[in-house]
Structure 1
Amino acid sequence: MVGLTLDGLTAAQVAAAKPNDVPRRSSRSFSAIIRANVFTLFNLVIGVLWALILIFGEWQDGLFGLVIVANALIGIVQELRAKRTLDKLAVVNEAPVRVRRDGAEREIHPREIVLGDLILLAPGDRLLVDGDVVRSDGLEVDESLLTGEADPVHKKPGDHVLSGSFVVAGSGAFVATKVGTDAYAVRLAEEASKFHLAHSELREGVSNFIKYITWLVIPIGALLIYSQLSSSVDFGTAITGAVAGIVTMIPEGLVLMTSIAFAVGVVRLGRRRCLVQELPAIEGLARVDVLCLDKTGTLTAGGMELDEVLPLRHDQPVTDALTALCHADPQPNATAQAIRDRYATPAEGWTAGESVPFSSARKWSGTDFGERGAWVLGAPDVLLHDGDGYDRAAALATTGARVLALCRADRLPDPGDGAAVALEPVALVTLKQRVRPDADETLRYFAKQGVTVKVISGDNPEAVAAIATGLGIPDGDRFLDARTLPDDDQQKLGELLEDHAVFGRVTPQQKRKFVAALQARGHTVAMTGDGVNDVLALKDADLGIAMGAGSPATKAVAQVVLLDNKFATLPYVVGEGRRVLANIERVSNLFLTKTFYAIVLSLAVGVAGVMFPFAPRHSTLVNALTIGIPAFFLALAPTLERARSGFVRRVLRFAVPSGVLCAAAVLVSFWLAHRGDSTLVQDQTSAVITLFLATWWVLVLIARPLTWWRVLLVGSMAVAFGLGLSLPFVRDFFALEPGNLVKDLTAVGVAVVAAVLISAAVKVAGTLRT
């Protein structure tokens, strides 16, 4: 550090230095998207089966191969759309970094930081690179996200600072000593911060389905191939039958539809200026049942306006002291800025000496002005303990106003022991807070959706309760002072959180404990915030939501950022999450019903050593009309259903009995048709009619509630199948030979019986919401 100046690097030094090149966590690369959608195990299996059909069968039976190509293309296009949206919003979200270069202060993009840069710090700033402190004006850094230590660390010149920490109080500057992938936080979180589609119940459930089905396909497929070769004199027919069973077992579109639902959700939210920094957040949105709101910046608009200065002592220079105190802070918070806007120029003779910057934990700030005394500004219920000033402040707080106390002392209180020195109350300061115009409607939405709202603030609890009551928050008049809450009894804390809606004088560490206590009681907790005091709670919440105008540290740890600062965007955010999860569950029921009826059919046919009841082209036709096309629409449909846990269990309870009954119906229909004098194609046609009608009924059950567009969707699928049986060129293409009235009616009758049994099974299982 010898010879270091505070002028920063020169332009020539910047050009030659190592840049801060860190991959964004919001999206994966183009090549990774291609690999994820093309090079899959199922695509490999289907590619081999496709080649077998083209070699030994008829090309019409190879249509399923084109479906896989289309699936891959659709998946790539949708994810690229999501990537472009995420990357554009991520650039907007990245807060500029203040550096000093060539002796001048300037703002640069985080990626423009270079090794050796002199980086300036203010409250709320997130440290993006490692470095050594060269200037400190009461600089306090929170390193809890890295070390787990809760208390802020005072940093002096020469101290080391790490990326991933953030400034909670004071200001300063440091020189970047490690940038890019060499920085501590980047190395620590290199794997965890990579793009991933989800670590969630839903994604894990789908992955488990795929894994177990893959293990089932191998032995059942081998059995099916053996049985078809043994029961058929025609090698091509045997291969065709085996491929039909194996292809139908594979839920090739399930991963596609899941990916599309997530990607489209990201794009839709992006249009509302909502950045989803981690795709698993989409699932978290749907499961939220408790929403913790920070009052300032969430319920109230950013910024404040000075209302009144009410002297308690008329022999003190109240205005001069207040002006000097707020101008002494080089990085004023919203409160100090509101006072500076009223009193723009400090009086002469007020020279600032030692200062204690404001922090959310202390709830006060102060400066020593030498012979004019030390002056402190902060929360009345922290600085005052009784007397007329305390009573007047409490009365003002009940109106919803932000109230501060201005006090004088002989010396400045030590930051570590609170306001332990004798403080003389000199004046009360009130500030106006503007309630967001969209807050009332948004809160009514959450109440209607069964989401409990908790208002958690560092302000006076009575003032917060006044605003909460005015907004109609249920139990808004039930408030607690967080200083009275237990520190080490999570169960008791959880009970108090359940019984009350408003909490004031909450410290950053308490916000974190609130989230943990609610989670311990089985709640899925979302936390909103914009200040540095919200960072720890946002990080621990199931879903952290930051305002775009919030501190860089807050936006860095949140999963969702509302870039336009509109509280009214939250209902759309929650609604999108519910849409994605509910619809993925619907399409999972469709795809896995198909998988289970194919498994049962393949096992039955393999053990009995008979011909498979339909060809691959038949499977392609039925699957397109009862699964592929409907699933695409159902996956993107609007819904307000709140997500429930138990995704895997519910899907299995629906898909297993439905699949078994569909398979049984097909086998019965094929066996009854085969008893008469008929060709294999005619027997297969009977099986296809039964298969379509049974799986179409499964589609009807899954599509509920049957709104007009859903009726149109399922009705058009039935019409399309009817046209396929009626039009000669379609019949020829798909090798269908209807016309035998007895066999056709028998196939329909078997399907009707299967539909009744499926309905009964679904009702008993109780897996579907209507």
Structure 2
Amino acid sequence: MRGLTSQEAQKRLVEYGPNALPEKPSEPLWQRFLRQFQSPLIYILLFALAVDLGLWLYEGAHGLPLEALAILAILILNATLGTLQEKRSEEALRRLKALAEPMAWVLRDGRFQHLPSREIVPGDVVRLEAGDRIPADGVLLEASGVLVDESLLTGESVPVEKRVRDEVFSGTLLVRGRALMEVSRTGLRSAMGRIAGLLAEMEEEKTPLERRLEAFGHRVARWVMGLAAALVALGFLAEGFSAQVLLFAVALAVAAVPEGLPAVLTLALALGVERMARRKAVVRRLSAVEALGSVTVIATDKTGTLTENRMEVQKVVGPDPQRALLAMVLCNDADLETGAGDPLELGLLRYAARHLNVQQVRHEHPRLSERPFDSAWKYMRVTTPEGSFLKGAPEALIPRLALSPEDKASLLEQAEAYAKEGFRVLALAHGEGEREEGLSFLGFVLLLDPPRPEVPEAVAKVLKAGVRVVMVTGDHPATALAIARQVGIPAEVVATGDEIGELSDEELLEVDVFARVKPEDKLRIVEAFRKAGEVVAMTGDGINDAPALKRADVGVAMGQRGSEVSREVADLVLLDDNFATIVAAIEEGRSIYENIQKFIRFLFSTNLSEVLV
């Protein structure tokens, strides 16, 4: 196997383009500055400024136009504050993104070369090892004990076993084994690229604050312009054309318009952003801080957001717990010290290490022979001087036990009952010498992806504040329901991805836990809640969460564990991946919203007195 030549790779790079998602060009500073003027209230102030300057020039430009200069100062201050805050947030995200350019071992000109991932083209052969992020879509040419974590793409917390000729996808993680992959799709054609393409077709949504201010601005503009026009008409009827009448109408318009509102809004939101930054949250859009205060529904991902994204043993149940611990250590290829290996096997070792010395046990029980795990037989065997230890799926090991058919059926029912409670169930067995039949049963190991410790308190706070929490995950319904109840989400109704298509929008609103969902299901869920008048915050870290993050009123992405795609479209990025930070953001948003309401009431009371005077 020689791979592509450098010339052929260069030709394909020109044909297919780089293996990277197209980056949105940064908005020029002047364009960003001008965008701050897009508001009906600002339009009235600009109109008043133009009329005031026009009349000043018409009357011979005597003295300084103080009213015009005051309006201009307010407009420039507001636009400058908004522009600077957006720029700072963008720079913080750019620093996060520029941690390191991904590299890959690619077979070129007959030898493996360490190349930037963006230079990979279809037809390249890439070498993958445990811990590598898969750089493009492809097919496995060689696979040795390969397990791939696809949680960023599918939401599934359990790694998937892959064999020769199986397809693997860009953005997923090789957690165990070694492989050679032939690249089939890169850039926008890859799994990650297709989701990015779906995002490009979606329009940017306005936040609740932006929508309310727009409606409020239109109402104020209509009243103010109507009142000014009526005054001008009455003045012209009484006195004929007069600059004084026009000036009076403009003065009335400026007095009626809360000209301080844009500046105070921007300042209040900018201060909120500063406080959020101190709590490890980067706000990408100023108005998103207030939008968090208006949130009525949080649609949260499970894997890695509510949970730690690692399998942990909850308990071991069975007739021989001591030997079960030995099986967990000996029938295991992971290394606890380096953290290398299958996440599930590492979870077994972490549990066993609390009860015995892992290194000492392995030293005292050397391996004589083994049968590695394979999905064809669904178990693993390791033979030591103490006999054979086996671990595997209950349905694969229980038929091999030296028990009566009734006892075997009873054990299978137990395993099924544990699975319905949301556990991942492993069976452990032992046999004398090197054997795989006539075994003695040691016990069941019950594993869960545990909730993050801060989540139950955060969920309780959010529920107390009147915000509904629903779970949206790609995981098994029983697992999702178990975690929902552990973290305190009131979960009664569960719907799977297959059922979502058959439910009406009204029926979707009754669901508390959505399981086995696809990216398009997440979009529909967010849209159904928004259609019902809810203000939706969507949290997530995966590539598969990105379209729904963009469509939600507030998209919240994880900064450390989150995919680049999800961070790009989010309104809020949590640098410490802490779910509890969302609670702080909601509190911050509500306080800002109350301050804005108080200020509008104050402004209108003073402006009304000005108009009456």
Same fold (TM over 0.5): yes
Distance 1:339 1:456 in 2: 28
Deviation of 1:84 after TM superposition, in Å, equals 0.9
Alignment partner of 2:294 out of 251, 263, 287: 287
Q: Secondary structure at the match of 1:442?
A: helix
Distance 1:105 1:480 in 2: 52
Equivalent in the alignment of 2:462: 446
Map Cα deviations across residues 278-332 of structure 1 (whole Å, 9 max, x no partner): 56644542333344555664455564555666667989994478414999xx996
Equivalent in the alignment of 2:575: 563
8 Å contact from structure 2 (residues 48, 250) kept in 1: no
Equivalent in the alignment of 1:271: 278
8 Å contact from structure 1 (residues 114, 179) kept in 2: no
Correspondence 1:207-246 to 2 at 5 A: 207-208=214-215, 210=217, 228=235, 237-246=244-253
8 Å contact from structure 2 (residues 140, 180) kept in 1: yes
Equivalent in the alignment of 2:404: none
Q: What code does the residue aligned with 1:405 have? A: L
Distance 1:226 1:585 in 2: 34
Equivalent in the alignment of 1:4: 4
8 Å contact from structure 1 (residues 312, 389) kept in 2: no
Higher relative contact order structure (alpha carbons within 8 Å, sequence separation ≥ 6): 2
Equivalent in the alignment of 1:701: none
Deviation of 1:425 after TM superposition, in Å, equals 8.1
Structure 1 residues 480 and 379: CA distance shift in structure 2, 3 A:
farther
Q: Secondary structure at the match of 1:79?
A: helix
Equivalent in the alignment of 1:80: 84
Map Cα deviations across residues 554-573 of structure 1 (whole Å, 9 max, x no partner): 84465433221323212211
Map Cα deviations across residues 407-455 of structure 1 (whole Å, 9 max, x no partner): 89xxxxxxxxxxxxxx998742245876645345423322321223456
Equivalent in the alignment of 2:347: 338
Equivalent in the alignment of 1:71: 75
8 Å contact from structure 1 (residues 529, 546) kept in 2: yes
Q: Secondary structure at the match of 2:347?
A: helix
Q: Secondary structure at the match of 1:570?
A: helix
Equivalent in the alignment of 1:691: 610
Distance 2:215 2:324 in 1: 75
Equivalent in the alignment of 1:497: 511
Structure 1 residues 142 and 441: CA distance shift in structure 2, 3 A:
closer
Distance 2:582 2:570 in 1: 14
Distance 1:562 1:236 in 2: 56
8 Å contact from structure 1 (residues 295, 464) kept in 2: no
8 Å contact from structure 1 (residues 79, 263) kept in 2: no
Structure 1 residues 35 and 434: CA distance shift in structure 2, 3 A:
same
Q: Secondary structure at the match of 1:550?
A: coil
Q: Secondary structure at the match of 2:206?
A: coil
8 Å contact from structure 1 (residues 85, 267) kept in 2: no
Equivalent in the alignment of 1:405: 426
Map Cα deviations across residues 77-102 of structure 1 (whole Å, 9 max, x no partner): 34313321343145326785642157
Alignment partner of 2:516 out of 486, 507, 528: 507
Distance 2:301 2:329 in 1: 32
Structure 1 residues 285 and 113: CA distance shift in structure 2, 3 A:
same
Alignment partner of 2:118 out of 113, 119, 124: 113
Deviation of 1:369 after TM superposition, in Å, equals 8.3
User: What is the root-mean-square deviation in Å for CA atoms of aligned residues?
Assistant: 6.3
Q: What code does the residue aligned with 2:51 have? A: L
Distance 2:52 2:428 in 1: 82
Structure 1 residues 474 and 140: CA distance shift in structure 2, 3 A:
closer
Structure 1 residues 509 and 243: CA distance shift in structure 2, 3 A:
closer
Equivalent in the alignment of 2:590: 578
Correspondence 1:280-429 to 2 at 5 A: 281-282=288-289, 284-292=291-299, 297-301=304-308, 303=310, 305-306=312-313, 318-319=327-328, 322-324=331-333, 334-339=343-348, 347=367, 349-350=369-370, 352=372, 366=378, 376-377=392-393, 387-388=410-411, 390-391=413-414, 394=417, 403-406=424-427, 427-429=443-445
8 Å contact from structure 2 (residues 137, 185) kept in 1: yes
Q: What code does the residue aligned with 1:244 have? A: A
Distance 1:491 1:71 in 2: 43
Equivalent in the alignment of 1:91: 95
Map Cα deviations across residues 132-186 of structure 1 (whole Å, 9 max, x no partner): 657585798999999xxxxx9x99879897x8x8679998756597659996666
Max Rg structure: 1
8 Å contact from structure 1 (residues 530, 551) kept in 2: yes
8 Å contact from structure 1 (residues 534, 554) kept in 2: no
Deviation of 1:273 after TM superposition, in Å, equals 1.2
- TM-score, normalization by structure 1: 0.52
Correspondence 1:27-42 to 2 at 5 A: 28-37=27-36, 41-42=43-44
Correspondence 1:665-744 to 2 at 5 A: 691=610
Distance 2:168 2:480 in 1: 40
8 Å contact from structure 1 (residues 326, 332) kept in 2: yes
Q: Secondary structure at the match of 1:564?
A: coil
The number of residue pairs the alignment matches comes to: 545
Correspondence 1:128-207 to 2 at 5 A: 189-190=199-200, 192=202, 199-207=206-214
Distance 1:491 1:565 in 2: 31
Structure 1, unaligned runs of 5 or more: 147-151, 357-364, 409-422, 595-625, 628-661, 663-689, 695-746, 748-770
Q: Secondary structure at the match of 2:573?
A: strand
8 Å contact from structure 1 (residues 289, 524) kept in 2: yes
Distance 1:485 1:66 in 2: 60
8 Å contact from structure 1 (residues 547, 563) kept in 2: yes
8 Å contact from structure 2 (residues 540, 557) kept in 1: yes
Deviation of 1:263 after TM superposition, in Å, equals 4.1
Q: Percent identity?
A: 21
8 Å contact from structure 1 (residues 439, 568) kept in 2: yes
Map Cα deviations across residues 182-215 of structure 1 (whole Å, 9 max, x no partner): 966666644757xx6x523432343355557667
Structure 1 residues 496 and 353: CA distance shift in structure 2, 3 A:
same
Distance 1:74 1:439 in 2: 38
Deviation of 1:339 after TM superposition, in Å, equals 3.3
8 Å contact from structure 2 (residues 481, 494) kept in 1: no
- TM-score, normalization by structure 2: 0.63
8 Å contact from structure 2 (residues 560, 577) kept in 1: yes
8 Å contact from structure 1 (residues 78, 264) kept in 2: no
Structure 1 residues 577 and 425: CA distance shift in structure 2, 3 A:
farther
Correspondence 1:39-78 to 2 at 5 A: 41-42=43-44, 44-55=46-57, 56=59, 59=63, 62-78=66-82
Q: Secondary structure at the match of 1:405?
A: strand
Structure 1 residues 530 and 4: CA distance shift in structure 2, 3 A:
same
8 Å contact from structure 1 (residues 132, 157) kept in 2: no
Distance 1:219 1:300 in 2: 56
Name whichever structure is richer in strand by fraction: 2
**Does 1:550 pair with 2:555?**
no
Distance 1:201 1:379 in 2: 52
Distance 2:324 2:390 in 1: 16
Map Cα deviations across residues 456-480 of structure 1 (whole Å, 9 max, x no partner): 77478599659946x6x375xx767
Structure 1 residues 489 and 93: CA distance shift in structure 2, 3 A:
same
Structure 1 residues 326 and 376: CA distance shift in structure 2, 3 A:
farther
Structure 2, unaligned runs of 5 or more: 155-159, 400-406, 430-438
Distance 1:532 1:326 in 2: 29
8 Å contact from structure 1 (residues 121, 167) kept in 2: no
